[in-house]
Structure 1
Amino acid sequence: MEFPQVVVVGSLNYDLVLKQDRLPYKGETYTADDLIQGPGGKGANQAVQCAKLGLSTAMIGKVGEDRFGEALLGTLRAVGINDEGVKRQGTTGLGVVHLLPDGDYYSTLLKGANHLLTESDIDEQKNFIQNCEFLLLQQEVPDHVVEYVIDIAESSNCQIVLNNAPARSIKEDSLKKVDILVVNETEAAYMENASVDSIDEAKVAASNLLKRVQKAVILTLGEKGAIVAQGTSVIHVPAKKVTAVDATGAGDSYIGALVFSLNEGKSYEEAAIFASEISAKTVSQYGGSDSFPTHNTMV
């Protein structure tokens, strides 16, 4: 049996993106200019980017028994993702995104089927989890499921990559089993209960977080780049300059590219540089995972 290089356990959402000049005031009905709709969810996004870059990828999660669920399964299959670990139950998770002219966005999530994922569902896919090269986790499924997956993967040779997004408290004994932690400045500030408003503060936070995981911390800073902490090294990797039009899914695109590069044997710094290039291309186009680059478009 051939096992996937990457297994992603996480969320699958259908995104409804409203393009508008500003957010409505309290009690105001504001008219949006356009609607972009398509696949989303941090888990599915990261899986799609991995697959688009050429990694054999499997997804574990849940979608609803509705047309949104069918559409999400179609997206996974279109890029060659193994979806046998994606079950259908209840209502599909939805992401409602308000996209502003500068590329920033505000997002509201309906948990839906994502929070129906159980430890029993994970047990059915244990073989894939224990035989992959990289395991990707986020925080849009129940926390006890994330912790359970980490425990299963710890005894294997796979590298556990945790994207603590949205930021959530994690048991220290689970966190110390994680190989690579990826967070943005908001998530790092939550985990450290400290300000992360500058590159220097980000370096301090990344250095502190590194003490709580196995191998490395990648702290992303948007247009300011990223901090890469490993061993005794804490460095700043600048972002590639680009005109951003839509930041939706950019962090997920970054993580998928990071894993791809690490799987190629690159260093953490080299992987962060490549991930910056990929996410820069993502934010320069409208749409969620549909806008993610393929390996061919980056050559």
Structure 2
Amino acid sequence: MIEKGKCPICGKTNQCAITLGEEPSTCWCMTTKVPKDLVSNIPDEFRNISCVCRECVKNYNKKVCVVGSLNVDHVLDVKNFPKPGETIKASKLSTFFGGKGGNQATACSKLGLTTSMLGSVGSDGHGNSYIEHFTNMGVNTNLIHQSNISGQAFIQVDQEGENNIVTIGGANYDLSIQWIDDHLEEILEHDVFLFSLEIPQDLVLYLMEILEKHHKLIILDPAPFANFHVKMLDYTDYITPNNSEYEQIKSYLKPSHHVIVKRGEKGSKYIHNEISINIPPYPVKAIDTVGAGDTFNAAFCFALVFNYTIEDALMTSNIAGAMATTKPGAQTGMPSLQELLRIRYK
């Protein structure tokens, strides 16, 4: 449970006069308007214990832009993955909104961050439905391009919750440098950028270089690794590979890089210079691991926005990623901020 006098968002000592039972007239919260949306995201049981701190109110105004893919996921539930040449039966077929970019944008918005999506969907029923979905989730869609057919993913999930994925890029690869140039003014209104690589490599490098010159915070999820370019490391503040991606990328890394390794059921690891910090996992019964890494990335983005320590950031990200595995579909199990804070402080 959150302690009296500490902010329920960041957990740091707040010293709010009201919650400490002191004279409130000089307390900062009497003269600062705390956004209603931020207050509504705080669990009810925390509200009479402490108020949100001044820094979190300030940081709440930061804008996040997710740059990546938008897919429609077709998920097959199977007992075991087929061997080469083998035909098996699936017990269920489900369709969900997905793509690494779409997953990360949805997760960021559910955590209360002001979020925009920069990506491309088809000018088809799938694309129109995805934009409507984002609107309902509170994600800004002004930067979404439409053309061609929507990207799609075909996913098998076994009885242990593990998955394999085959994707068709579709409209994701129609996102262009011209689109970036045409919307650059609005893009640069954002403070934090979360990239993944299911979109054109040249576009990622082009935009990263611009953002680095404007001193924007850049987080890179280097997946799929086949689309990674070592030059991206020159612009990235934090890189978040999973175990297999880390093995492929580590020869390019310098000690000065800030590396967050997503280790699944083993938790996560931070590597920087001579520092190496392991954070244990949050234990859950996994049903579907699709989107867990994307939720981890969104929670890490949230933690950076609110100036968490690296240990708290990884612990919070582990919890969020684990929670995402407890329901089928990439986005279904993603926690709200209320759900995340309840577990973080329980």
Structure-2-length-normalised TM-score:
0.78
- Check conservation: 1:40, 1:288, Cα contact below 8 A: yes
1:181 pairs with one of 239, 242, 246: 239
Equivalent in the alignment of 2:132: 74
Deviation at 1:296, TM superposition (A): 1.6
1:291 maps onto 2:333 in alignment = yes
**CA-atom RMSD in angstroms:** 1.7
- Check conservation: 2:293, 2:321, Cα contact below 8 A: yes
Equivalent in the alignment of 2:264: 222
2:99 pairs with one of 36, 41, 48: 41
Unmatched 5+ residue regions in structure 2? 1-60
1:276 maps onto 2:334 in alignment = no
Deviation at 1:79, TM superposition (A): 1.1
State the distance in 1 between where 2:337 and 2:287 align: 21
Task: Classify the secondary structure of the residue corresponding to 1:278.
Answer: helix
Which structure has more strand as a fraction of its residues?
1
State the distance in 1 between where 2:138 and 2:270 align: 31
State the distance in 2 between where 1:8 and 1:192 align: 24
Q: Deviations over 1:66-102 (max 9, x none)?
A: 1111221122111111101111100100010000000
Equivalent in the alignment of 2:45: none
Distance 1:173 1:31, change over 3 A: closer
State the distance in 1 between where 2:120 and 2:264 align: 30
Largest Rg, 1 or 2: 2
Equivalent in the alignment of 1:201: none
- Check conservation: 2:62, 2:305, Cα contact below 8 A: no
Deviation at 1:171, TM superposition (A): 4.1
State the distance in 2 between where 1:26 and 1:158 align: 46
Equivalent in the alignment of 2:280: 238
Distance 1:47 1:210, change over 3 A: farther
Matches within 5 A, 1:250-261: 250-261=292-303
Partner amino acid, structure 2, of 1:164? P
Matches within 5 A, 1:29-178: 29-168=87-226, 170-178=228-236
Unmatched 5+ residue regions in structure 1? 194-207
Distance 1:111 1:169, change over 3 A: closer
Distance 1:110 1:61, change over 3 A: same
1:211 pairs with one of 255, 263, 267: 255
Structure-1-length-normalised TM-score:
0.89
Partner amino acid, structure 1, of 2:314? A
Matches within 5 A, 1:185-196: 185-192=243-250
State the distance in 2 between where 1:26 and 1:171 align: 31
State the distance in 2 between where 1:288 and 1:258 align: 17
Equivalent in the alignment of 1:197: none
- Check conservation: 1:130, 1:152, Cα contact below 8 A: no
State the distance in 1 between where 2:285 and 2:262 align: 18
Which range is displaced more, 170-179 or 285-294? 170-179
- Check conservation: 1:175, 1:212, Cα contact below 8 A: no
- Check conservation: 1:176, 1:212, Cα contact below 8 A: no
Deviation at 1:24, TM superposition (A): 2.8
Deviation at 1:266, TM superposition (A): 0.5
State the distance in 1 between where 2:256 and 2:200 align: 22
- Check conservation: 2:255, 2:274, Cα contact below 8 A: no
State the distance in 2 between where 1:116 and 1:230 align: 36
Q: Deviations over 1:179-223 (max 9, x none)?
A: 111101111111236xxxxxxxxxxxxxx735364xx11011111
Aligned length: 281
Which range is displaced more, 180-189 or 25-34? 25-34
